[in-house]
Structure 1
Amino acid sequence: MTPSVIKKNISRALYTVMWLYILAAWGVSLSSATSEMFTCSVPVDPVSARLGHVATIPCWLTPSMNAEGLEVRWYRPKDFDNPVLLYTERKIQEASQQSQYVGRSSLGLRELTSEGLKGGDVTLKLVNVTLSDQGEYVCYVSSNQDYGTASVFLNVTVKGTPPLLSAVRTDADSVNVSCVSHGWKPRPRLQWSDGRQTLKPEKLDYSSGAHGLVSAHSWVLSSPSSAPWVSCSLVLSEGEELEGRVDLRNIAALPETSSGLKTAVIILALLLLLSVVFIGVLYKKRDIVDIETMGQPEDLVDIETMRQAGVDVTLDRKTAPPYLKVSLNSKIVRDSEDNPCPPGKHAYILGTRAFTSGSHAYWEVRLDKEQVGVKQSWWVGLASGSVNGQGDVPASNGFWFLSSDKEKFLRLNMAPDILLPAYPRPQILGLYLDYDQGVLSFINVKENKLIVTVKAMFIGEVFPLFNPGQGDTAPMTILDASHYKTGSVEVSVSEREGTVTPPAEKAETVALVASNQSRNHQTSERKDCL
């Protein structure tokens, strides 16, 4: 073999070895890249979480692989750079999160047997779920060679107030039973039963209010001879059900009367409803709507304890419509004689103080004036911070108030209205709020008696609400209840009872009253602007 042939064979061998090396290196690289290729997997259906509870939004890598060294990003659509959660460099980067998710978002487990990041589980966990958390979430995972993305929709559900039942006998063997409940999401299923069969309602209405929360109102006719009780149930899903019952045997029979008088008796029975029908109502849950009427010894309240949460409320002039006059110190309000409230409008004003989670507050409103008498028409209560302007005032959706009319009845704004007798009509009205427990109580301060307590679910800021009515000679005066706190400056008994007007307010009060003395003889025929 000649030297040239030997040299050529060596060159070919080296060339072959070089290509074998290149192919081997490429194979190793390809194998490594292939091992890091993955997709993000999520549930087909939306996931649900209860308001205030924990939401688990699953996402995992397919095929399963260790994700501890990868980047995991959860974000809302169009907010890639402002994520709900960002995990990179083996830790959560809180500085990059949206502020409302800091401390609430973390990496969780989609099931108890999950290995977490080691097993490719990149599930998002949210605590203290809010209504604004509802919506789409994007799961994004990336490595040096690949990335994957998938979307999950979160539904936030809300269990509303326990059903409030009322009943009135319509004839000798027929009872009209009404059922009302508020604050559900999504719309619940309402069902009537007498323990033996499902009853078909005569009417069933749903309405949506603030934050998209749903209210339900229904009524049914039943007979005490066929069943001793009737129940109203509202159901979101299995295990999320509230039920109320009313004992039909305790509904008093109507006397024999003419049809006209009989109708009047039915109406009167409805007006006095709350004093007799709630004895037989039983709830499955402790979050009941407590309704107690005035005039019973057990209705006496520990007002001194409530007053330890006393606050000084002032009127927010910016929220006042042109139909109201507000004093310079923002403590007195009444309707305007020069610019009366037109039909269909609502002349209310809010307080400047906002109440949120953790709030315990007590405030008082004076509803009379010496030598003038007690106001006949007014609203006092709370309004949601989401309320915009002087528009419609839907029952319980963003508004929680007690009102008075000239027919001598107090009304609680629910659907339908809850009517209470107004004897005696309150001269000073006290309000006690426990925000987190959802409790708002109305107290007749002079009588030291509870008028009514409602159980509601407050979301976001709520503000004191006032409407002085139309045509009353007496104005509405907001008293300073912060005096009652332990350790504060003592005030006289007469001041605490509202019989003395602070000097700064006296002149304005006299002027506001005097401006309406001339029309006092007309007020009995004028309709309230409520």
Structure 2
Amino acid sequence: MSEDFSSRGQSSCVCKMLLLAVFSLILVEASDSKHVVEVLPGQIVGRVGLTVTLPCWISPQTDAGTLEIRWYRPERFNTPVLFYQEGKIQEVQEEEYRNRSSLSRRSALSNGLKDGDVSLRLDNLTLQDGGVFYCYVSGDWYDSQAVTLNISALGRTPVLSPQPLNDTHVNVSCRSSGWFPEPSVMWMSDRRRLLSAGRVSHSRGADGTFSVHSWTLVSLSEASQVFCLLTLNSVEEREGAVDVQAFRPSPSVHDETIELLRNNAGMNGSQLLYSMCLIVCVYKSQVIEKCCEFMFMFLTVVITLDRESARPDLRITQDLKRVRDPKDYQRRGDGFPYELCVCGAETFTSGRHYWEVELVYNNLDPKSFWLIGVAVKGNYQSADKTGLTASAGFWFLCSDGPKGFYTNTEPTIILSLSPRPQCVGVLLDYDSGQLSFYDVTESKHLLTISTRFSGPVVPLFNPGVGDECSLTIVGPPEPKESPEESTQTLLQNSQNLV
């Protein structure tokens, strides 16, 4: 019995010694390699659509050209983001990173793989790229480290839309989309005074980015301009601005008329008539239709289309008054077809000029897609909206179907028009730098764009795509009575207002 215990003790001792020897060999072998994988501490930040480099290197420095390098996401070791082996990048790869991933240098001082630099470059980042990446290196040794990538998306410039509430206050809304994560919102006046936000709401789209909507109440006596600042990570921001004084209610028609009559010494009859009628046309009154009719009769000009400025496949009538989209036109995506613009043949360098554009024909529904405005002479087709800016010499109002009505100004003005205009009037005041739009059918002023014209300008039209009817330039109306009789009648009516 004692011999059995003795033999068992000796066997146990031998096993322990063998295990200790193996463990010692492992430690010696591990200590001999002395190589580890290193990454930067903290998180790496990248932006949607741009490029980022995830730094990873071997320490101490050694040539990694003959080693195996594998970048992979958690639990996707066999379908890596990038796999380098036998001196080249292998085809085995996660499909969403194909043509987007490559080995890169972590700094300009790095010699890449020769220095043991195994950093990963990712192009055209998406929100789905956010999270953990593993940098794994192996040869006669192996090691790995995790790198966390945070993705952000800088949204679009905010669009501000003022809505007058009364004579003293304007409600201003601010909208923007394409953000990640949710941006913070701050309102300020031109005096750099903080304004309180009435409410801020966020919504998430199908692409994972956030849209933000906020609004504030502004006193017209305390601010001329209002700014909406959207900030991401307390560093990156977008800012939109609007001049709220442009939406200050003007004095009454009666007060305006008295002021005009007090200062009409230097005006002739037609100038006084124009000034009085412009006031009346903006405000509802008993004489609005009559007054506007005669004002625009004095200013209406004949407009024809310039075939030289149009695409050859645009359908333009022989009288150069009507235009439609090309018969076999293939729309690219769901964007507005800005390349279908055509200019008017008439050129303006001064004065006031008015023309009308019909957007309905017979019993068809009013056109949903159109663009009407002016452009500096010589500016013609552009397939890209970014080229049709005010700074480039374009000013217009666009109807983009379900996307609504908007201008190309900065910031963009978005309008909610109901019913859809059947006839749009355009008033160009070159000397004052104003382009005004009117709903002729509803006798309603839509908006005025203020700018500074430099050089000759021409009318600008675009029939859009998808409507059954054409865009038609309307000729000057036939006068129902002589201008002299009309002027005298209106002057007599104005004296009765005083």
TM-score by length of 2: 0.50
TM-score by length of 1: 0.47
Q: Computing the radius of gyration over CA atoms, which structure comes out larger, 1 or 2? A: 2
